[in-house]
Amino acid sequence: MDSMEKLRFPIGDYKKPSKITAQDISKWIADIASFPTKLAKEVNHLTEDQLNTRYRPEGWTIKQVIHHCADSHINSIVRFKLTLTENKPVIKPYFEDRWAELKDVEHAPIDASIKLLEGLHQRWSILLKHLTETELKKTFVHPEHGREFSIEENIGVYAWHCNHHLAHITSLKKRKGWD
């Protein structure tokens, strides 16, 4: 992996296990549940200049990453709920790069998204902890990928997503000596 790719994917790409176990799901749910606390611990003391630092050339600022996580995770819980209440719904993709350029991302304090993530992840992890085996196997269709994704697979994707973006922040802080 070249250095730019390492900056882009500090924990590597998401790799779906060949068989998803109950232990995988439990660990993933724990990662999702703990993400807002870990994120807040890493960013609450940062200055405005630090928050406006890009984690890699042509990448997002830390502030954009934080607001992106809130936007992305809102979309994800909606997808989970649609999947649980409908038969193989086709989800609506969104342009995350365009959302990261909107005025709320530019002007809202990070605390707005951290508070949102705290409540959202509390509800989300409660939902996930109570899913049945049948519910874990339910699927939605992602039109950009042209295939079905199961809820259990998507739990893994979003645990990775939490850790992926947290690593963007922690690796930047380490490179800059901000720890």
36-52 pLDDT per residue, tens:
999 999 999 999 999 99
What pLDDT digit, counting tens, does each position of 42-82 carry?
999 999 999 999 999 999 999 999 999 999 999 999 999 99
Helix axes 62-85, 22-43, angle to 10 degrees: 150
CA dihedral 4, 46, 39, 178 (to 10 degrees): 50
**Which candidate, 160, 83, 77, places its Cα nearest to that of 123?**
77
Contacts of 124 (CB under 8 A, 6+ apart): 32, 73, 76, 77, 80
The model's pTM is 0.96
Query: Which pLDDT does position 1 carry in this prediction?
Result: 63
**Which candidate, 22, 158, 163, 161, places its Cα nearest to that of 79?**
158
